Amino acid sequence: MPSKTVAIFLCTYNGQKYLEEQLNSIRDQSYKNWKIWVSDDGSVDETKKLLEAFQETVGHDRLQIFDGPRSGFAANFLSLISNIDLSADYSAWSDQDDIWDKDKLGNAINWLERQPDTTPALYCSRTRLIDENGEEIGYSPLFRRPPSFANALVQSIAGGNTMVFNHQARSLFNHMPPDLEIISHDWFAYQLVTASGGRVYYDPKATLNYRQHGANLVGENRSLKALFYRLFQLLGGRFHVWNEVNIKALKKMDALMTSDNKAILEHFEKAHSGGLISRMSGFFRSGIYRQTIVGNIALFIATILKKI
């Protein structure tokens, strides 16, 4: 039995259709020293009954159920990871409808244990995409450029369902003001860890089956349709609104940021809201980049049009 405990933070909401498969994939992990803390956001189906049945199987000490804040998925995930009463050596987020590979936790822990204890560290990975029936339909994009704060400002490279944190990374969330507004928990996690000078590892190997529902485009971005959807967001104004929210959130957390990353954020804010000359200067001085050539061309155009 490994000595270090992993806290699995599972958020549920009317998830009865696929929840049992996900719970079983957690039970079957090769890394066995885990505990599940579930925040249910007001399910009215059989979700809680499934959780209680699984609790009887694995033991009440290995699965505990809480009532969620009912303020959206991001607030639900943050309510767990920022709860100082739920202690563990490592922390992982979990969706209710995925299927984890057997070595998902083990691979993450292998990397995290090689990082300094005093440095925030975040493991994340590529995903294998499946449809509603569990049939494989492809993979999420394979990103090759290194993770960094300059990338995190303009792109989320991995889903929260792949993320595993060390204690130093998780402790960053304890500094969040209760009224902090963010766009998504996983994107902000990438921003927060890199902003603080922490280390992020993007594993090119898929570690789970990421279930896609119908027209879901939140996590799936391998198709041409999804690419145009994201370019539309980038050039259509929604990206500008998201960045406004993220900038405000990061400025409230600037006590955790390195001096270099504070400077990057200042330049990015100019690229976001200054005049044309100021925007272009901020764009180049911040060093912001996305993971693909097309994405970077769109980012440059968006800066000219005052859309980032």
Helix axes 238-252, 185-195, angle to 10 degrees: 50
Q: Is 169 exposed, middle or buried (0-12, 13-18, 19+ CB in 10 A)?
A: buried
What whole-number distance in Å separates Cα of residue 100 and Cα of residue 31? 12
Domain final residue pick, 211, 242, 260: 211
What whole-number distance in Å separates Cα of residue 221 and Cα of residue 207? 17
In a domain, 219, yes or no: no
Q: Are 129 and 212 in contact (CB under 8 A)?
A: yes
In a domain, 218, yes or no: no
114 in the same domain as 253: no
Q: Which residue has the tokens 């925030």?
A: 120
Q: What is the pLDDT of residues 287-303, one digit of tens each?
A: 999 999 988 998 999 99
In a domain, 1, yes or no: no
256 in the same domain as 193: no
Domain final residue pick, 211, 246, 270: 211
89 in the same domain as 28: yes
266 in the same domain as 193: no
127 in the same domain as 97: yes
In a domain, 216, yes or no: no
In a domain, 238, yes or no: yes
153 in the same domain as 15: yes
158 in the same domain as 55: yes
What integer is the mean pLDDT of 189-194? 98
Q: What is the pLDDT of residues 89-139, one digit of tens each?
A: 999 999 999 999 999 999 999 999 999 999 999 999 999 999 999 999 999
Q: What is the pLDDT of residue 219?
A: 46
93 in the same domain as 201: yes
Mean pLDDT over the full length of the chain: 92
Q: What is the pLDDT of residues 35-78, one digit of tens each?
A: 999 999 999 999 999 999 999 999 999 999 999 898 888 899 99
Q: What is the pLDDT of residue 73?
A: 87
Domain final residue pick, 190, 211, 232: 211
264 in the same domain as 188: no
Q: Are 52 and 19 in contact (CB under 8 A)?
A: no
Instruction: Output the domain CATH number for residue 114.
Output: 3.90.550.10
Domain of residue 262 covers 224-304
- What is the number of domains present in the chain? 2
Burial pattern 101-112, b for ≥16 Cβ within 10 A else e, equals beebbbbbbebb
In a domain, 156, yes or no: yes
In a domain, 283, yes or no: yes
User: Which of 301, 191, 167 is closest to 253 using CA atoms?
Assistant: 191
255 in the same domain as 154: no
Please name the residue ranges forming H helices in 113-237: 149-152, 167-171, 185-195, 224-236
What whole-number distance in Å separates Cα of residue 103 and Cα of residue 105? 6
128 in the same domain as 80: yes
Structure tokens at 63: 């699965």
In a domain, 40, yes or no: yes
89 in the same domain as 43: yes
pTM across the whole model = 0.92
Task: For residue 136, count other CB atoms closer than 10 A to its CB.
Answer: 10
